[in-house]
Amino acid sequence: MAQSQGIKVFVRDATGLVRNVGGGGSFFATFALVTGGVPIFLISLLFLSPGANIYLALAAMFIPSVALGAVYTIFGISMPRSGGDYVFVSRGLNSVLGFLNSFGLFFAYVFSLGIYSYFGAQYLGYAVYTYGFMNSNIALQNLAASMLTKDASVISAVIIIAIFLLVLAFVPTKKAFSLIFITGIIEVITTIALFAITATISQGTFMTAFDKFAGTGAYSGVISSAVSNGLLYKPGLATTLLALPISWYAFTWYTLPANWSGEMKQVKKSLPIAILYALVVILVFYMAFYFTTFHAFGQQFMTAWSYNYANGYTLPFSFIGTYTPFFISLVYASPIIPILGILVFWLPDVVFFIPTMIGASRYLFGWSFDRAVPTIFSRVSTRTKAPVISIVTVGIIGIIGLLAYAYIPAAAIVDIIPIFDFGFIIPAITAILIPFMKKDLYNNSFVIKRKIAGLPLITWLGVIALAGIIYGIIGLWNSYLMPINSTTGITIGSVYIVAAIIFVVMYFVNKRMGINITSAYKEIPPE
């Protein structure tokens, strides 16, 4: 145990957490983390790469994604501790970098709670509108319109966060993951059903149905309107290259299971299932989603729709955004479609709050256990076996993120995306350098030390991951998704400045108590 002047650096000799999380629950947690709310969001971005070969873009960016996933898997099974990349980087590269980088990721994850709670509120409103439109029920359509106002969406989103906050505060972690497993099975079954139904729709059939409700020539009108407003739909290599950064971003969040690796049963088996196996299934999910969507509605039509919607041009049913179940309902007027839409797109969007709150709270726990933040955040409930104070803190900050996204969008989602992009650079560099900079740690702790062409496997994986991250950043730099300007610069810079202040203050607070917290970073925390 690392000590300074006879005082323990770590808060206690054991974390107090319990290894009771299985691979199955973690697998579905990753599925919800990556796909919750994302498919509809990706459709809204089609205009950024008009005519791209989306399947090729996804396959290409799957390679660096699975490389980074393998990095986190190797780190996680070698050092299965709460805090994930915080532990890896602080021990494998530099303590200060480990804290600052993980603080940025913590901020991005927690603020995303607010953003995705807002998405969840909107998707519920879309489903109500779809059902009301299908049945010519004006009352339901008006209810949906009320639900989709900004203030109503914020209220619904706060309720969503509060519900899951209460669940995690009073329900043991093991049962929370059991809930994720059950909902995951439902998500898979309903996804297969919805995609199968969508695959039965031909583009001609949809065009006829769309024109029936929107007016003769409306389908073609959407495309011609986008073209006249400046959209250049040009399939080919150039537009496919534009889709690569977006496809890379589509795979983010899959690294979060490493944050609760210290609570996994049979971590050497469970973590690969949670990250690597999940990534393969997620790739299949995205491929199937795009294929059935383009087959049914037409890629050019959906691209034009996204362009007109993003730029505020006139659209029939613009109220519905890019919510594809509504388009399905124009062909199949069945109540099953809105229900499937809720289960496929809304359910994972809200279930994702469980692993996100758990994962983010483990950052707080890991810092606290090292005394880099107040030790109150490492307290573990004897009943739930979870750091409840950390979880509650995450929920409160998530609500702040919701308010920022709803009322100050310029300082919310466009700041979170760059932090996610930048935040994975340091772990990738750690993977490249750790066999050389921290030889003892690598030789004594790593369970996989295989070499390829004379270099450690983890170094190769880090290089591939880093290349993908850098390309993603270059592609998104100063774009629609990542506008680098004074607002984003100040906001992002403030996050890291706050982190630096916290680290320095806690260093001197602990020093007065006779504790040198840097001693903690010389060894892996106890289990």
Give buried/exposed letters for 296-328 (b at 16+ CB in 10 A, else e): bbbbbbbbbbbbbbbeebebbbebbbbbbbbbb
Give percent of the chain above pLDDT 70.
Answer: 96
Q: 239: buried, middle or exposed (CB in 10 Å: 19+, 13-18, 0-12)?
A: buried
pLDDT of residue 67: 97
Give buried/exposed letters for 423-454 (b at 16+ CB in 10 A, else e): bbebbbbbbbbbbeebeebbeebbeeeeeeee
pLDDT of residue 207: 97
Residue pLDDT, tens place only, 21-70: 999 999 999 999 999 878 998 999 999 999 999 999 999 999 999 999 99
Average pLDDT over residues 373-386: 90
Confidence of residue 75 (pLDDT cuts 50, 70, 90): very high
Rg (alpha carbons) of the chain, rounded to whole number = 23
Asked if residue 344 belongs to a domain, the reply is yes
Confidence of residue 477 (pLDDT cuts 50, 70, 90): confident
CA dist 444 → 28, 40, 79, 80, 212 (Å): 32, 45, 11, 14, 68
Asked if residue 297 belongs to a domain, the reply is yes
- The rounded Cα 290 to chain-centroid distance in angstroms is 19
Give buried/exposed letters for 507-516 (b at 16+ CB in 10 A, else e): beebeeeebb
The CATH number of the domain holding residue 34 is: 1.20.1740.10
What residue numbers bound the domain in which 490 lies? 18-502
pTM to 2 decimal places: 0.91
Please say whether the dihedral angle defined by the alpha carbons of residues 276, 386, 388 and 71, taken in this order, is positive or negative: negative
Q: Is the pLDDT of residue 2 over 80?
A: no
Average pLDDT over residues 274-296: 97
- Can you read off the two tokens belonging to residue 349? 């969007």
Average pLDDT over residues 166-188: 93
CB atoms within 10 A of CB 24: 17
Asked if residue 243 belongs to a domain, the reply is yes
Residue pLDDT, tens place only, 415-464: 677 788 889 999 999 999 999 999 999 999 898 999 999 999 999 999 99
CA dist 318 → 120, 153, 222, 306, 409 (Å): 18, 18, 11, 10, 20
Q: Is the pLDDT of residue 492 over 80?
A: yes
Contacts of 312 (CB under 8 A, 6+ apart): none
> How far apart are alpha carbons 395 and 389 in whole angstroms?
10
CA dihedral 359, 409, 156, 162 (to 10 degrees): 30
Number of domains in the chain: 1
Amino acid at 193: A
pLDDT of residue 271: 96
> How far apart are alpha carbons 36 and 351 in whole angstroms?
8
pLDDT of residue 5: 44
Start-to-end CA span in the chain (Å): 12
Eight-class DSSP state of 345: I
pLDDT of residue 1: 41
Contact criterion met (CB below 8 Å) for 422 and 104: yes
Average pLDDT over residues 150-164: 91
Query: Residue 8 forms beta bridges with which residues?
Result: 3
Residue pLDDT, tens place only, 220-241: 999 999 999 999 999 999 999 9
Residue pLDDT, tens place only, 241-270: 999 988 988 888 899 999 999 999 999 999
Asked if residue 524 belongs to a domain, the reply is no
CB atoms within 10 A of CB 33: 28
Residue pLDDT, tens place only, 86-121: 999 999 999 999 999 999 999 989 988 888 888 888
Q: Per-residue DSSP letters for 230-293?
A: T-----SHHHHHHHHHHHHHHTTTTTGGGGGGGGBTTHHHHHHIIIIIHHHHHHHHHHHHHHHH
Average pLDDT over residues 356-378: 93
Asked if residue 12 belongs to a domain, the reply is no
Asked if residue 359 belongs to a domain, the reply is yes
> How far apart are alpha carbons 321 and 11 in whole angstroms?
50
Asked if residue 92 belongs to a domain, the reply is yes
pLDDT of residue 3: 44
β strands within 348-403, DSSP E: none
Q: Per-residue DSSP letters for 18-41?
A: ---B-HHHHHHHHHHHHHTTHHHH
- Can you read off the two tokens belonging to residue 214? 């929107």
Asked if residue 10 belongs to a domain, the reply is no
Contacts of 509 (CB under 8 A, 6+ apart): none
Please say whether the dihedral angle defined by the alpha carbons of residues 318, 323, 329 and 335, taken in this order, is positive or negative: negative
